[in-house]
A and B are shown apart, each in its own frame.
Chain A
Amino acid sequence: MFGLPLAFATPWLLTALIGLPVLWWLLRAVPPAPIRRRFPGVVLLLGLKDDESVMDRTPWWLLLLRLVLVASVIIALAGPLLNPAAQARSDRPLLVLMDGGWASAATWRQQSEVLEARLKEADRNGQTAAVLQITAPELLAFQPASVWAERIEEFAPRSWRPSALQVAASLDLLADQSFDTLWVSDGLDYEGRAALLEALSSAGSVQVLQAAEPVVALTDMQLEDGAITVTARASVDLQAALDLQVVGKDPQGIERVLSQGRLTFDGESDASLSFSLPAEQRARVTRVQIEGVSSAGAMYLTDDSLKRREVALIQSNSAREGLELLSPMHYLKQALIETTDVIEGALPEVIPANPDVIVLADVATIAPAEKAELLEWVKGGGLLLRFAGPQMAGSDLSRLEEDPLMPVRLRAGGRSVGGAMSWGDPKTLAPFDPDSPFAGLVIPDDLRVTAQVVAQPDPNLADRVLAELSDGTPLVTRKAVDQGQVVLFHVTANAEWSDVPLSGLFVQMLDRLAVLSSRAEDETAVMQGTIWQPIQVITGQGRLVDGRVLSGARGQDLISAALGPDLQPGLYQNGSEQYARNAAAKDEDLTPYRWPASVPVVGFEKPSTVDLKWIFLVAALCLLAVDTLASLVLSGRLRGFGVTAVIAMALAIPQPSDAQTAQTDVSPITLTDEVALAYVLTGDASIDEVSYAGLYGLSDVLYLRTSVEPVNPIGVDIERDELAFFPFLYWPMTANQAMPSSAAIKKLNDYLRSGGMILFDTRDADVALGGRSSPAGRRLQEIASRLIIPALEPVPSDHVLTRTFYLLQDFPGRYASRDIWVEAAPPDAELVEGMPFRNLNDGVTPVVIGGNNWAAAWATDTVGVHLFPVGRGVTGERQRELAYRFGVNLIMHVLTGNYKSDQVHVPALLDRLGQ
């Protein structure tokens, strides 16, 4: 229209513009209404004539203003649209079909915006619409498109891709209907896509919306030679780089990025990147993710395969006293201590701990019962690593028939080569066989073996040899026992028989052996018949959520079955083992789908249609305000106070006010000058009010009874406000408390570290009895898990809180639970005879955690009337009094620290305690 890309939703309304000239004439004809003024001086006016009567009419510019105003309203109501989409009108309903798998997740936001715009446009065209997500097919509901435009935000990508089953279900839903299709595709091929396209084409026109960006997924993560190798796959050949993050828990248990790296696609669709992490850190890795891509495919969870292995060391007779370097265990310990958790002890104690590896160094005889247990353990997937030695050589172990816990039969006595009393030179190692797990390890030249136990040449010996000496006698042999294995080093674990334990090769060999995952052997067989409980599942957009509410999955399904609502990618647990099923499989097929030329494919460019209705309406409103002012000025009504009123109105244009600007009322100067009790603003106004009233009541009591004279309590927004001014924070927990940002967490940790105290109050001691968890309690756990909080214990009876001002043993609030937790006393604190309490002269507890709803017990209004009832009758009043005393003690503890913990006070306290 008018050469502009402008269109109107209801153009016939524009005919109202014809009425404008009439309005002009009317406005000109009717002068503004006069004001009646009482004025005694009127006698002097009698007979005076006005000048020319030009000004009796509304001035032309005001007329114009009003005409523009009316015109704006008319145009706005006509629904002007800038850049309207020139689309062929269709009278068929619109079907929005979404692939809706994780492959669309990265562009989901753009997709939603585009869909919203398209649905609004369909609504303007009077089309009804339905939305179908293939990954979660539901019955089609054709509704006005505006309804779907509002609901489109509710759709979220799923963490699986459309499966054949879901495509079939969708096809059923779509059958025998007529509609136009807008297919939001992730661009990847999957089984049934062609069939679906055929069905849609027969139902009406099809248009495809598809992101231009390729789909990238992390498909594999392997631990190779101590390095984590992450493999990523793209749907097309890429020339790009992605930032990868290795995420894990730090020693405090807080999740953080352990390592970062740049994964470069070099013109291919596959790329991999290795992260070399210290073994200790590697064991804490929980996942790898592509930075900035929120998709389930851009996240790879790790499971047991990166965990530290537990190795139990058992030697022949631990009672032997000897030189450390001669101990068979010394070199083993040195080799293992870095990378594994070493357990030492006797067999009966070790087996129940179910270690991954048990090392027997020169152990020849094992009690039958223990042997049975050990065998059971090996069969269950354990790795038994045995070393030879004088005792083994001298025993009859595995002599005549093969011991189940030995890989080979042994000849009697062993042999000694290259010694003073023997023929020949000491032997060195033969190169490793390519099939051996040791393949590729470099053998040092100076490695010598002077003695060994010798295997009987049984028929199966050749299969079991992993390493042999230069003369062909086996050095390391292995036998599989069900799911486990037994490995024998034919030399000692110390340097008596060979140099092997002294060399770096020893560590590498152990690593190769210990790294061998039992699952890698025959995963399917191991998983057969097991049920795995999901712990965390990945949402389509790559967030981890609690999966405990979902039902368990069968082991074999976990490995091979297609993902779907019943088998979501995530971390699964069975006993102590964990298994991660990731969204993208190792051989995930990310082939792009080639659309037939007949199907139009467009990208996610948002249609640039701009609804100008509101611009015109707002313009009309502004004009109305100007007109009002102008009319007032012209009619002379705008005088004196009128002017000031208008100016005041202009100044009082509502500022974006925030109810939670509590701290800004009080200058930092005042805060450094005065003590103020502070509470954390929870965002729930009623709770914040109670907190304020509670601290107000407590401040009053402190003022009356102690030399602490606090100013009015202050609400603190932990996200924005400086905490350093407050010695004490009261933090009522709510179940829907917002999670503090990481900046706020850092601030809180700084606060706690620098001597601040937070009183966490879950306010639910009436319902959460006996440690039962409540929503607020769980929220507290989530928040506190990110704070640096030391070990806690229930308030001991000799805690300094019990005597900082009043002598107390209970700390009731509105509820009288005794579950109050404070920082645990150091374990070495001892009660000295004759003293009423332990000598705990250290620190102020940074947190006090309870659920007694103290603020409600303390709460008063400004004249001191209690706001909440506590208990009943006199008992209740006593409880309130005790609550106040707890408050006083708490604030005294905060302000005086462990002063009352000093032993100097003992005599006085003893006196008061009546002893």
Chain B
Amino acid sequence: MSAHPQLRRRAEAAASRFPPLLARAETLANTVLLGEHGRQRSGLGDDFWQYRPVQAGDSYRMIDWRKSAKTGAQYVRQKEWQIAQSITLWVDNAASMSYHSQKDIVPKSDRAQLLALAVAILMIRAGERVGLAGTTLPPRRGDGQIWRLSQALLETEETRDYGAPEARAMLPNTRALFISDFFGHFEDVEQALYKAADRGVRGVILQVLDPAEEAFPFSGRAIFESMKAQISHETRKANELQEAYLQRLQDRKAALQKLARITGWQYTCHLTDAPVQSALLWLYNAMERGR
């Protein structure tokens, strides 16, 4: 008798979802061609960068004796700076992300996980270290990390209606990718971004929205509820609210944009009925730019 009779079944059910997500993410990642992106700076690395004359302050240990012996002058052999970047992902897994307005539109969480994992794959292939925000999965490199990432991403949390960015335990001067609908408390987002910016973390905010959230195509008497029914709002004529709603959404987007500008992050909004490749391409470029 197992103490958790459901565990194995749930694990299998969960496992059965891995390959599709992973496969899709890899397929998606393959659509982005990776070039060599040398850092073009001397630093700690394995590849030869240049010889330079010894300058004052260089220790003797730094002199490349072979080159110096050939030429008579003393040279220092510099290697290209190859520090591996750490990338921290935060994918909102709150209940609001599981919303989809129509059957043929994927839930926001699905799109978010897909994009996050695809970016992770691209980054890991480029030799970066990728981890999740918080303490659960610190940045690591290697294919094993992809597996662990996908596993961790699928652990959806269903208790909260809206997620707040996780800015704890972020390594300084790393990069970050926050994916959410950012419908939660804006102060949480602000706080997290300021905290990250304080540590020199740059990154990307990706707001994933459903088309219905963007357009608000409702009318009639309705009670709107959050996914966990913790918040509700009753209206007698929903179509009258549309204008106000759209204005507020616009405000929220503008606030995010502004926040991003202040902290040096980049922001975009992605709708779940838009092609996923374009979003990934934008994300990848944004991540590259932020370096």
Using a CB–CB distance below 8 Å, which chain A residues touch chain B?
31-46, 48, 50-51, 53, 55-56, 634-637, 639-640
Contacts and interface: CB of A to CB of B under 8 A. Distances in A.
Interface in B97-114: 97, 99, 102
Contact of A50 (B162, B224, B235): B235
A50 B240 contact: yes
Contact of A636 (B162, B220, B252): B220
Given A46-B231, A48-B244, A51-B240, A40 B183 contact: yes
B234 A48 contact: no
Contacts of A37: 218, 222-225
Interface string B204-238: 00000010110011111111111101011111111
Interface in B157-182: 161-162, 181
Contacts of A44: 183, 245, 248-249, 252
A41 B245 contact: yes
A364 to B, nearest CB: 115
Contacts of B239: 636
13 contacts: A34-B223, A40-B96, A40-B99, A42-B224, A42-B233, A43-B162, A44-B245, A50-B236, A53-B236, A55-B240, A56-B221, A636-B239, A637-B220
Contacts of B235: 45, 48, 50
B231 to A, nearest CB: 5
B34 interface: no
B44 interface: no
Contacts of B183: 40-41, 43-44
Among A50, A53, A637, find the residue whose CB has the most chain B CB atoms closer than 10 A: A50
Among A37, A46, A53, find the residue whose CB has the most chain B CB atoms closer than 10 A: A37
A35 B222 contact: yes
A31 B233 contact: no
B212 A51 contact: no
A637 B223 CA distance: 13
B241 A40 contact: no
Instruction: State which size class the interface on B falls in.
Output: 35 or more
Contact of A36 (B210, B219, B225): B225
Contacts of A55: 236-237, 240
A636 B219 contact: yes
Among B184, B238, B244, B252, find the residue whose CB has the most chain A CB atoms closer than 10 A: B238
B223 A35 contact: yes
A48 B247 CA distance: 12
A42 B232 contact: yes
Contacts of A50: 235-237, 240-241
Given A44-B249, A45-B248, A639-B217, 16 more contacts: A33-B221, A35-B220, A36-B223, A37-B223, A37-B225, A38-B225, A40-B210, A40-B226, A42-B224, A43-B226, A44-B183, A44-B252, A48-B245, A50-B236, A53-B236, A56-B237
Interface in B238-291: 238-241, 244-245, 248-249, 252
B249 A41 contact: yes
B99 A38 contact: yes
A33 B234 CA distance: 12
Contacts of A639: 217
Given A45-B241, A55-B236, A55-B237, A39 B221 contact: no
Contacts of B210: 40
Contacts of A53: 236
B223 A45 contact: no
A34 B96 contact: no
Contacts of B217: 639
Interface string B67-105: 000000000000000000000000000001101001000
B226 A42 contact: yes
Contacts of A31: 221, 236
A34 B221 contact: yes
Name the 9 nearest CB pairs between A and B, nearest first.
Answer: A636-B220, A40-B96, A636-B219, A56-B236, A34-B221, A44-B248, A42-B224, A635-B220, A39-B224
A411 to B, nearest CB: 124
A56 B238 CA distance: 11
Contacts of B218: 37, 39, 636
A83 B50 CA distance: 114
Contact of A38 (B181, B221, B227): B227
B242 to A, nearest CB: 10
A37 B238 CA distance: 11
A36 B238 CA distance: 12
Contacts of B219: 636
B97 to A, nearest CB: 8
Nearest to A636: B220
Nearest to B210: A40
Among A33, A48, A635, A639, find the residue whose CB has the most chain B CB atoms closer than 10 A: A48
Contacts of A38: 99, 225-227, 229
A55 B239 CA distance: 12
Contacts of A635: 220-221
Given A41-B245, A45-B245, A48-B245, A36 B240 contact: no
Contact of A40 (B221, B227, B244): B227
A378 B219 CA distance: 107
Among A39, A44, A636, find the residue whose CB has the most chain B CB atoms closer than 10 A: A39
B225 A39 contact: yes
A109 B253 CA distance: 82
Nearest to A41: B213
Nearest to B240: A51
Contacts of A35: 220-223
A43 B244 CA distance: 12
Contacts of A634: 220
A134 to B, nearest CB: 71
Contacts of A39: 99, 212-213, 218, 224-226
A46 B239 CA distance: 15
A449 to B, nearest CB: 116
Contacts of B224: 37, 39, 41-42, 45
Contacts of A33: 221
Contact of A640 (B102, B184, B229): B102
Contact of B222 (A48, A56, A636): A636
A40 B222 contact: no
A35 B220 CA distance: 8
Given A41-B183, A42-B226, A635-B220, A34 B213 contact: no
Nearest to A47: B233
Given A35-B223, A37-B218, A40-B227, A45 B102 contact: no
A639 B238 CA distance: 14
A46 B97 CA distance: 19
A40 B232 CA distance: 10
Contacts of B102: 640
A190 to B, nearest CB: 77
A637 to B, nearest CB: 7
Contacts of A51: 237, 240
A635 B236 CA distance: 9
Contacts of A48: 233, 235, 241, 244-245
Contacts of B234: 34
A45 B220 CA distance: 15
A636 B217 CA distance: 10
Contacts of B213: 39-41
Contacts of B99: 38-40
B90 to A, nearest CB: 18
A38 B233 CA distance: 10
A668 B221 CA distance: 56
A245 to B, nearest CB: 72
